Structure formats: structure tokens, C-alpha cells
Amino acid sequence: MELLILAQLFLAWALASPTHPTKPDCAELANAWTNPAVDISQAIEVPPNSLNISSIVNEVSLCWVRGTIKYSAKNDKLDASGNNTLTWELFLPDSAKYNGRYLMIGDGGFAGTIENNTMLTYLNLGYAVAGSDAGHSEAANGDGTDVPFLRNSAELQAWIHNSVAIATPVTQSLVAKYYSQHPDFSYYWGCSTGGAQGYALAQYHPELFDGIYAGSPGNWYSHLILSFLWNGLHTTGKAYMSQQVLSFVTKNVIEACDELDGVKDGLIENPLRCSFNVTSLQCKFGQTPDDNEPTCLTADQIKALQEIYAGPKDIRTGKEIYPGFSLGSENGLLGQELILYLDYTGPILREVAFKDSSFNIFQFNWGSDVDAVNQKVSPFIDALSSDLSRFQQRGSKIITTQGWSDQYNAALWPLQHLQEIQRTMKSQSDFIEVFMVPGGGHCGSNPSYPHVPAVYHVLEALVPWVEKGIKPSDMLSSESPDGTNTTRKLCPWPATAKFVAGNIDNWNSYTCVYPQTPIPASQIAYSSYHEYGTSIPLPGTVDSCGGRQLITNITANFCRVVLDTTISNSSSEHIESWLPDTWSDRASYRKRRYWRMY
């Protein structure tokens, strides 16, 4: 019997290791799909150094496949009779360079183009990379004020919710055909709208990916655009702030809070710990506001900033509609003042919420109109579920990065969403991490923070987590726009980077530190005070220790705190803290709450 198994194993091995490996045939892929909804227009071999997209060049040879998919309004169904066309591309690296992984790249903004430069970056790392235009052409994005694709319900739903699920099975099966085996793992990479697509995948198509990167996610898009509108409307007229004024505010915020993290580097590690009050910048008697060389702000400008920090509120209830912006992000807000509410909020309110091309966004009602947005827009473009258990149960992981100085997305949103997921999924929420980026912008750089590394090495954190179960304890960021070699350590929230020793511009000089969380009194089983020379029994429930033991030579007075934490029906955790009187700072120590020790 054993011999037979050995023989079978040998046979399997021999078949899997052909002595004359055949080179995959690129051109043949043009005939690979027989579904009439799928058209493959190109399958050509490309030698190294011959594709140059935004100065990224293919370092490996590839099979470059392009095509289209017809789909209909029925969610993610391919449909040859459908009116709607998704355009996709696939870069298949030389089989010697292929790392066995499929990677789908998401879109940005209103989509309509393929993020082929990001695709090329990951091709060079050995991924088989796909991308799509999210189901409509760039032409369907119109002229910025009129965005025709928003009027087409199939295209609207494809944009964030379904396009990746339409393009993935087709491109994935081409990968399988080309290399004669299904990819070992499938990843998704997207930021901004692509981040929203990432959360939509985890919610609506949880079976597709093993690992998802969802950066600066606009997964509450319907309220993100209300945040744009709020900021735009509160900074018109006298409340307008020039770039110089915005930069002046940030400079003052940083002066006040830079060193809270122990390192003077022009960055605030955790803006939530900064309590700068912007009213201190208001012009005093004898000071003159100046847009070009500001030394103070007008009362209108101060009011505007306070509204931006507070975020949009429902006039009926005062309830938050979307979080506000964080201290230190002011220098990136010019686009909020001038562009975003016109380019994004206007078209979505006119075409989707009210289906009325004459709807006046300046008259938006921050009560009843919010309801309309929730009913008419949210179901088509948001991905807000905090129960991602179908995704979690198949072992998939999701990582989000978010710049504290994002020019588009209020930095607190992904943290609020994380908290919601943790509240819903409790101990099952161990599949998601959010990395905050001090001074980080929207999916990379905020140009006013040129010394902040703008490339986040997400897949280096995500891949080992997915494939080996190694949960990332930090993440490298590199390539600051100022051209220096600065690297920084990004930490999984709520951890933040703490300087240890060395060069402050080197990520290795930092360690990720979690805030100490006070233990709720309800978890304290009992506490007792023990004096010098007495003895106490130790918990002796471990069999191999042979029952209870005594500690007989206590040499200091101490307080013993015992916690019993129920983990599940069948297991609990026993935690003890021994807090000696001889602690050097005894008075203040006694005032502290108890921390988890082991």
C-alpha cells in the first residue's frame, strides 16, 4: 500500500516536472474565452524595456492581453446582449519571473481609465496583474460638470460595487490558462475609489480575494461627497483661505504639537493627541489679515476652519454626517474649497440623488436632502457593512492605509469604520488592520509635506499575513517627494511609531507602541493586599505544577490584582498584576489604573 502511494507520488511529481517545459503561448490566449460576452482584442508578447508608462518601464518580458466584457444592469453578470462594456487589460510576466500571484488593480475618481502605471509597478515584482476601466469609458465621465455614466444604472453600479467582480473571473482564468495552473493566491490593490471598491469586494464578493488593500477608502462615498460640499460651502466669500493661509495654520499646528511624539520632525504622529485651538490664530487688535503673507486669520476664516474640523452635521439632530478633518491637514484643503464639491458632489446630487439637472447644490438642505442621499445614492455606491464575516471566514485579510493629512478623505473615517467592524465582529475582527500615515496625503503625498515618504509597502505586509499567517506589526514607507532617503514606520492602529534611537529619518529607529488600555473594573475578579514576610497561594490549576503552591518569602508589600476574562464559552484567561509599594513614583502610581501585564 505504502509503495503504491509512493509510486503515485512519484508519478505526480514526474508529471508536474516536465523535462521539456513548453513556453506558454501568448497569442493563443486570444482564443481562450468562448463566452460571447467576452472579447479579447490583443494578446502580444512584449520584450523587456519596451513599455514606458509614466516613467515606469517593464523590467520583465510579458504577455500583454486586452479585451472587453459586455455586461448588463443585473449586477455582476456577463451578458453578451448587454449595452455596457467594461475594458480590461492583463500583464502576464515571463513565467520565470511569475510569483504565482494574481493581482487586480482598482480605479481612481470616476474611473474610466485603466491604472496601467500601477499595473506595471507590480508586473515588475512578478505579479500577474489585471486592471479595468470599471465598466465605462473616460468619455462617459463627461466634462467635469456633466458626468453621463452616472445616469446609466448598470454603469453606476459597476463603478464601485461590481466592475472588479466582472473583470476578475475572466482575467484570472486567462492567468490559469497561460501558466497552466490557477494562481496560488489572489490579491486586490486599490486606493481612493479603489479603496471603496476594496470594501465593496469584501462585502459583496467575499469569495474572490485572499488579500485586499483598500487605501484612503471612499466606501462611504455618498457622505464623502457631502463632506466635500460642507467644506466647499463653508469656505466661500470672506471665509475663503488661500494656500498661504492654510499653510500658515498647519505651520502653527505643527509648532504646537510636533514634539508630543518626542521627535521634532515637522510631523504629528497622532493628531488626536494635539489640542491646538485655532482661535489662537485670530487677528488681534492692530493685526491685519493678509492672504499672501498671513500672520493671523479673520473671524470668518476661523469659523470656517472650525466647521471643517467638526465635519458636516444633520441640522435636525446635530448628528455627524461624516467626520471632520484633522489638525495638521489644513495645508491640503485648497481642493476642498474650490474643486471637489463642484466636480463630485454636484454631478452625483444632480444625476443620482435628485435626477434633476437644475438642482442647486448651494441650496442643499442638511436634513431632508441627506435622507434623499441615503435612499437614492447610498445603495448604489457605498460599501458600509461592518459584518464582513463571509470574507473573514475564508481566511482573507484586508489592510487600509490612511493619511492623516489626506486632501480628500477625512482621516478619521477609516478609523470609525474599523471601530464599527470591531464592534460587530468582536474577536473575529482579526482580519483587518488600518495603518495611519502621519503627514500622509491621499493615496500618497500631500505636496505640502514633501518630506513624508509617499510609497506604502502594503503588499510586503499583506502577503505574509495571507500566506503565512504573519500579522503585520508594522509597515515600511519610503520615497519621499523631496528626494531624500527618508523612511518611516507605519503602525497598525491604535499603535503609533515611537522613536527609540538612531537617525530620526530611518524607519528602523522607531517601534510601534500600542496605547495602554485600562482594564474595565468589571473584569477585576478580586484584588488583595499582601505584606512583607507573609505568604500567598499561587493559582495552581496547571496540572503539571501539582496543584497549589505557596510563595513564602514576599519581600515587599504589594497589591495583587486578579482578572478573569472570559474569552468564549469554554475558555477564559487568568491575568494577575502585582503592584509593589516600592515603585519609585508611589503616589502617582497608586492613581493609575491597572494595566494588562501578561
Ligand X SMILES: *[C@@H]1O[C@H](CO)[C@@H](O)[C@H](O)[C@H]1NC(C)=O
Contacting residues toward Ca ion, per CB under 5 A = 258, 261, 263, 265, 267
From 30, 46, 53, 554, residue interacting with ligand X (rule: CB under 6 A): 53
Cell numbers linked to 595:
494595566
485 binds, among ligand X, Ca ion, none (CB under 5 to 8 A by kind): ligand X
524 binds, among Ca ion, ligand X, none (CB under 5 to 8 A by kind): none
As a whole number of angstroms, the distance between CA 71 and CA 83 comes to 7
Q: What is the DSSP string of 80-106?
A: TT-SEEEEEEEEEE-TTT--SEEEEE-
Residues binding ligand X: number (CB under 6 A): 20
Can residue 279 be called a binding residue for ligand X (CB under 6 A)? Answer: yes
Can residue 50 be called a binding residue for ligand X (CB under 6 A)? Answer: no
Name the residue among 35, 31, 29 with its Cα closest to residue 63: 29
Taken as a whole, the chain contains a residue count of: 598
As a whole number of angstroms, the distance between CA 116 and CA 53 comes to 7
Q: In the bound complex, what is the minimum distance in angstroms from residue 464's beta carbon to ligand X?
A: 25
As a whole number of angstroms, the distance between CA 153 and CA 135 comes to 11
Residues 234-263 that bind ligand X (CB under 6 A): none
Q: What is the DSSP string of 229-244?
A: HHHHHTTSGGG---HH
The window from 5-13, 98-106, 110-118, 395-403 that contacts ligand X (CB under 6 A) reads 110-118
Sheet strands (E) in 338-469: 397-403, 432-437, 455-456
Whichever of 22 and 55 has its CB closer to ligand X, that residue is: 55
As a whole number of angstroms, the distance between CA 191 and CA 188 comes to 10
Whichever of 327 and 383 has its CB closer to Ca ion, that residue is: 327
261 binds, among ligand X, Ca ion, none (CB under 5 to 8 A by kind): Ca ion
Q: In the bound complex, what is the minimum distance in angstroms from residue 489's beta carbon to Ca ion?
A: 13
As a whole number of angstroms, the distance between CA 169 and CA 331 comes to 42
Burial class (CB within 10 angstroms; exposed 0-12, middle 13-18, buried 19+) of 181: exposed
User: Are 431 and 464 in contact, with CB atoms under 8 Å apart?
Assistant: no
Can residue 393 be called a binding residue for ligand X (CB under 6 A)? Answer: no
Can residue 114 be called a binding residue for ligand X (CB under 6 A)? Answer: yes
CA 147 to chain centre: 27
As a whole number of angstroms, the distance between CA 393 and CA 379 comes to 25
553 binds, among ligand X, Ca ion, none (CB under 5 to 8 A by kind): ligand X
Can residue 571 be called a binding residue for ligand X (CB under 6 A)? Answer: no
Whichever of 473 and 484 has its CB closer to ligand X, that residue is: 484
82 binds, among Ca ion, ligand X, none (CB under 5 to 8 A by kind): ligand X
As a whole number of angstroms, the distance between CA 383 and CA 425 comes to 16
Sheet strands (E) in 376-428: 397-403
Name the residue among 410, 462, 546 with its Cα closest to residue 190: 462
As a whole number of angstroms, the distance between CA 547 and CA 539 comes to 8
Sign of CA dihedral 226, 232, 236, 239: positive
From 35, 50, 83, 357, residue interacting with ligand X (rule: CB under 6 A): 83
**Helix (H, G, I), strand (E, B), or coil: what is residue 145?**
coil
Can residue 569 be called a binding residue for ligand X (CB under 6 A)? Answer: yes
Q: In the bound complex, what is the minimum distance in angstroms from residue 551's beta carbon to ligand X?
A: 7
As a whole number of angstroms, the distance between CA 502 and CA 500 comes to 7
Can residue 51 be called a binding residue for ligand X (CB under 6 A)? Answer: yes
Per-residue x/- marks for ligand X, 539-558, CB under 6 A?
--------------x-----
43 binds, among ligand X, Ca ion, none (CB under 5 to 8 A by kind): none
The window from 97-105, 113-121, 328-336, 472-480 that contacts ligand X (CB under 6 A) reads 113-121
Q: In the bound complex, what is the minimum distance in angstroms from residue 108's beta carbon to Ca ion?
A: 30
As a whole number of angstroms, the distance between CA 564 and CA 557 comes to 23
The window from 48-56, 263-271, 385-393, 466-474 that contacts ligand X (CB under 6 A) reads 48-56
Can residue 180 be called a binding residue for ligand X (CB under 6 A)? Answer: no
Are β-strands 101-105 and 185-191 bridged in parallel, bridged antiparallel, or unpaired? parallel
| Matching residue, cell 474595565 | 520
Residues 429-448 that bind ligand X (CB under 6 A): none
Residue 544 phi/psi, 5-degree rounding, is -65, -15
CA distances from 176 to 29, 123, 457 (A): 11, 16, 27
From 50, 244, 277, 506, residue interacting with ligand X (rule: CB under 6 A): 277
From 360, 473, 484, 549, residue interacting with ligand X (rule: CB under 6 A): 484
Q: In the bound complex, what is the minimum distance in angstroms from residue 481's beta carbon to Ca ion?
A: 19
As a whole number of angstroms, the distance between CA 242 and CA 299 comes to 15
Can residue 572 be called a binding residue for ligand X (CB under 6 A)? Answer: no
Residues 307-346 that bind ligand X (CB under 6 A): none
431 C-beta neighbours (distance < 10 Å), count = 24
Whichever of 100 and 142 has its CB closer to ligand X, that residue is: 142
Can residue 57 be called a binding residue for ligand X (CB under 6 A)? Answer: yes
Can residue 176 be called a binding residue for ligand X (CB under 6 A)? Answer: no
As a whole number of angstroms, the distance between CA 242 and CA 246 comes to 6
Q: In the bound complex, what is the minimum distance in angstroms from residue 149's beta carbon to ligand X?
A: 13
Whichever of 81 and 544 has its CB closer to ligand X, that residue is: 81
Whichever of 49 and 357 has its CB closer to ligand X, that residue is: 49
Whichever of 19 and 81 has its CB closer to ligand X, that residue is: 81
41 binds, among ligand X, Ca ion, none (CB under 5 to 8 A by kind): none
CA distances from 454 to 93, 441, 477, 536 (A): 26, 8, 7, 56
The window from 12-20, 81-89, 386-394, 587-595 that contacts ligand X (CB under 6 A) reads 81-89
Any bridge partners for residue 551, and if so which? 536
The window from 80-88, 177-185, 258-266, 462-470 that contacts ligand X (CB under 6 A) reads 80-88
Q: In the bound complex, what is the minimum distance in angstroms from residue 481's beta carbon to ligand X?
A: 13
Can residue 55 be called a binding residue for ligand X (CB under 6 A)? Answer: yes
As a whole number of angstroms, the distance between CA 32 and CA 39 comes to 10
From 25, 42, 48, 72, residue interacting with ligand X (rule: CB under 6 A): 72
Cell numbers linked to 275:
489640542
Whichever of 48 and 335 has its CB closer to ligand X, that residue is: 48
Which residues contact ligand X by CB under 6 A? 51-53, 55, 57, 72-73, 81-83, 113-114, 116, 277, 279, 484-485, 553, 568-569
